[in-house]
Amino acid sequence: MSAEQRLKDRGIVLPELPSPKGTYVPANLHNGILYLSGQGPLLENGEFACGLVGKDFTVEQAYQHARRTGLVLLSAARAALGSLDRVEKVLNVLGMVNAVPGFGDHPKVINGCSDLMVEVFGEAGRHARAAVGMGTLPMNISVEITAIMAVRA
């Protein structure tokens, strides 16, 4: 089943891709590899989730933030490729969590994005990954995630 069909069947609606907050592009396609810039948790109300995981947000809430961030990454991929059906494989995800000192559940948080990639792309959504903690993130967002994808011509 195609990625676009999986989105439709599951009722998943991708958010509008936010404008870059700096001098970069949301996606860069080179030699069949799509590099996606870091995105944050754009909520359904159009605002970003801002605050510290472990203080302002629970692991479960931050998991949902990572899922929302994954949706933004998919929006960036679709904008660059025209269709998510061109994605051959999700290669790598780097998830950064804005967390309180001593927080250790970064992988549980970033699973929100990883689980979404598998839901949308099936086995092709399984990827290499790092999930790390940060002392701060831009705009104080709770998570920031980048991804690298192999693309069909």
Q: Residue range 23-45: average pLDDT?
A: 97
**CB-based contacts of 104, cutoff 8 Å, min separation 6:** none
pLDDT the model gives residue 116? 98
pLDDT single digits (tens) 119-145 = 999 999 999 999 999 999 999 999 999
Q: Residue range 94-112: average pLDDT?
A: 98
Q: Is residue 101's pLDDT more than 90? A: yes
Alpha-carbon span 28 to 142, nearest angstrom: 24
Through-space distance between the first and last CA atoms of the chain, rounded to whole angstroms: 19
pLDDT-based confidence at residue 153 (cuts at 50, 70, 90): confident
**CB-based contacts of 35, cutoff 8 Å, min separation 6:** 27, 28, 29, 146, 148
pLDDT-based confidence at residue 106 (cuts at 50, 70, 90): very high
- pTM score over 0.85: yes
Percent of the chain with pLDDT over 90: 97
Domains and CATH numbers, the chain: 33-151 (3.30.1330.40)
Distances (CA, A) of 123 to 10, 18, 94, 97, 104: 17, 28, 18, 25, 27
Burial 94-133 (b: 16+ CB within 10 A, else e): bbbbbbeeebebbebbbbbbbebbebbbeebbebebebeb
